[in-house]
Copies of this chain bind each other. A is one copy, B any other.
Amino acid sequence: MSEAQERLHHSHLERAREQIIGLLTRQAVERDLVSRSEVSKQDVVAQLLARQQQAALATKLGQLHPADIAFILEALPPDVRETAWGLVKPERRGAVLLETNEAVLRALLGDMRPEEIAAVVRHLDSDDIAELLSEMEEDARQAVLAKLDRDDQAEVRSVLSFPDGSVGSMMDLDFLSIREDTSLEAVLRLLRRQKQLPAEINQLIVVDRAGHLRGVLSLDQLLLSDPEQTVHTVMTAEPTFFYTGDAVDDAVTAFEKYDLISAPVVNLHKQVVGRIPVDAVVDAIKARAQSESLRQVGLSGEEDLFAPVVESAKNRWPWLALNLLTAFIASRVIGAFEGIIVQLVALAALMPIVASIGGNTGNQTVALVIRGLALNQLGPTQLRKMFSKEFGIATINGALWGSVLGVATLALYHQWALALVIAVSVLLNLWVAAAAGVLIPLTLQRFGRDPVMGSSVLLTAFTDSMGFFIFLALAAVFLV
């Protein structure tokens, strides 16, 4: 076993990665030299050198865990990534692909022919094959499916038929089931006949003749109990289980709360069709966490750090366009008050303060609401409570910091009325921010949208326009 696998601390892995990247980059430079210059003795040496390094690299990669290889691939620029991918042994490529993030996975799969992909995934379980294929375009997916063994094809198709985000789409198909009238002794003998148990198994699933879920028998119950007893007497008769149609998020919540390690998955007839292992749950939590802060600023959850610039630029267009539009609206709000600004130019300097404070405090409220929604803590009662609380906070902070700003304005411009107008504007815009901060994520969710997606962009649009409007309108009424 490799050093990296023995001690998994960042420092180690970091060093291995930097080494590999160093080797790869040097190689790229040398290959570049070879291709640019005339073929000469020196180039042959360079080529030999490059080949030696390739061998060293292949060995190094061979010692790493598939997850570590995936980690390194994700961190490499595309050209060097190609080289590194070529050095991974074909029989390990499937396992590496499983650990790779969506963007890099698509890049790697995009460069392979259907036969190649089929050859690579053949070593995997059918649920894992389905997971990989679900990232591909329909045409490419069918092409790969056609190259698989008949049995695999059927299983993969059945997993693919479950919608994204459902328990069915994340479950493992391999589980061990036993009957409840068996003796533990017999179960132990049965296990010893297996070469290997499915990964992360901590329980056997107890089913009746027709495959209906009857209970689970954990390995420690099995080990601790008298072998003479039957499964029925020691099993857990009412285990936590999921239907294939349940939401992955619900399963994640249950695993978090009840400290589960695996749970059976059943179809509508309550027949066991698979199980969820805890590592799939860990991956789901991780993916959700990673994507959240990206989605809040209007980026899709997965973005390849090294995707082509033009592609990444395009990804940002929809929200940029929306941002430009809302900023333009805010600008027209100001435009409507141009006459007043000319009379009192201090307004132009002061108005962004009102907008900015609203934006920042509103984003705090948005973050709290999104967390509340994610934790399912916002029922109708809590919502009313939260609404009035955020208004209370806005009132205190608006009064306090509005006054501070009023004093600063007075010191700077020596105008009592102006100071009063800005102080009141801050208070009013904090109320707007509190309301918008609660309502924007809720409204997005109410209309079946992701409450996180772009919520911060939308909030700012609102607090900007309203901030300018409140301040300039008050100024128009009381100052000019």
In terms of DSSP, what is the predominant structure of the interface of chain A? helix
**Contact A346-B338, Cβ < 8 Å, known A289-B285, A320-B360, A360-B320:** yes
Taking A220-B201, A290-B371 as contacts, is the C-beta distance between A393 and B306 under 8 angstroms? Answer: no
CB <8 Å contact, A220 and B223: no
Interchain CB contact under 8 A, A224 and B385: no
Q: Is A238 an interface residue (CB 8 A)?
A: yes
In the assembled complex, the Cα of A240 lies from the Cα of B201 at a distance in Å of: 18
B324 and A10 within 8 A (CB): no
Residues of B within 8 A of A386 (CB): 305-306
Closest to A77 in B: B385
Report A394 CB to chain B, min CB distance, Å.
9
What are the residues of chain B within 8 A of A253 when measuring CB–CB?
8, 10
Known: A331-B352, A353-B330, A377-B75. A255 touches B238 (CB 8 A): no
Q: Across the interface, do A356 and B323 meet the contact criterion of CB distance under 8 Å?
A: yes
Known contacts A257-B71, A371-B293; is A361 also within 8 Å of B320 by CB?
A: yes
B375 pairs with A238, CB closer than 8 A: no
Q: Which residues of B contact A259 (CB under 8 A)?
A: 199-200, 277, 279, 282
Chain B residues with CB under 8 A of A306: 382, 385-386, 389
Which residues of chain B are within 8 angstroms of A281 by Cβ–Cβ distance? 282
Q: Is the CB of A293 within 8 A of B290?
A: no
**Which of B285, B290, B357 is the one whose CB lies under 8 Å from A323?**
B357
Tell yes or no: A278 within 8 A of B by CB: yes
Q: Which residue of B lies closest to A392 (CB)?
A: B309
Q: When chains A and B are docked, how far (Å) is the Cα of A292 from the Cα of B371?
A: 10
Chain B residues lying within 8 Å of A201, measured Cβ to Cβ, are 220
Who on chain B is nearest to A220 by CB? B197
Chain B residue contacts of A327, Cβ below 8 A? 352-353, 356-357
Query: Which residues of B have CB within 8 Å of A367?
Result: 293-294, 296-297, 299
Q: Is the CB of A464 within 8 A of B356?
A: yes
Minimum Cβ distance to chain B for residue A180 (Å): 17
Binds B, one of A13-21, A43-51, A108-116, A144-152: A13-21
Interface bin, chain A: 35 or more
Q: Do A316 and B393 touch across chains, with their CB atoms under 8 A apart? A: yes
B338 and A356 form a contact (CB under 8 A): no
Chain B residues contacting A328 (CB-CB under 8 Å) are 353, 405, 408
Segment from A84-92, A124-132, A156-164, A187-195 that makes contact with B: A187-195
B293→A296 contact, CB < 8 A: yes
In the assembled complex, A376 has its CB within 8 A of some CB on chain B: yes
Contact status A250-B9, CB under 8 Å:
yes
Residues from chain B with Cβ under 8 Å of A225 in the complex: 192
A286 to chain B, nearest CB (A): 6
Residue among B283, B326, B370, B464 making CB contact with A256, cutoff 8 Å: B283
Given A278-B261, A282-B255, CB of A290 within 8 Å of CB of B331: no
Assess the A389–B192 pair: CB atoms within 8 A.
no
Task: Given A257-B71, A278-B278, A309-B389, verify A297-B397 contact (CB < 8 Å).
Answer: no
* Binary flags per residue of A410-431, CB closer than 8 Å to B gives 1, else 0: 0000000000000000000000
Query: In whole angstroms, how far apart are the Cα atoms of A301 and B323 in the complex?
Result: 28
B348→A299 contact, CB < 8 A = no
Tell me which residues from 319 to 364 in chain A have a Cβ below 8 Å from any Cβ of chain B: 319-321, 323-324, 326-328, 330-332, 334-335, 338, 341-342, 345-353, 355-357, 359-361, 363-364
Report Cα–Cα, A328/B353, bound state, in Å.
6
| A460 at interface, CB cutoff 8 A | yes
Taking A319-B360, A324-B405, A330-B356 as known contacts, 15 extra A-B pairs with beta carbons closer than 8 A to each other, sorted by chain A number, are A8-B250, A75-B377, A192-B223, A192-B225, A200-B202, A202-B219, A293-B293, A299-B367, A305-B385, A309-B389, A310-B396, A320-B357, A324-B357, A328-B353, A338-B348
Query: Can you report 25 A-B residue pairs in the complex whose CB atoms are below 8 A from each other?
Result: A5-B240, A5-B258, A7-B241, A14-B376, A192-B223, A197-B220, A223-B223, A256-B283, A261-B261, A261-B278, A278-B278, A278-B282, A285-B289, A305-B385, A316-B397, A320-B360, A320-B401, A324-B353, A327-B353, A327-B356, A328-B353, A330-B353, A334-B352, A338-B346, A341-B345
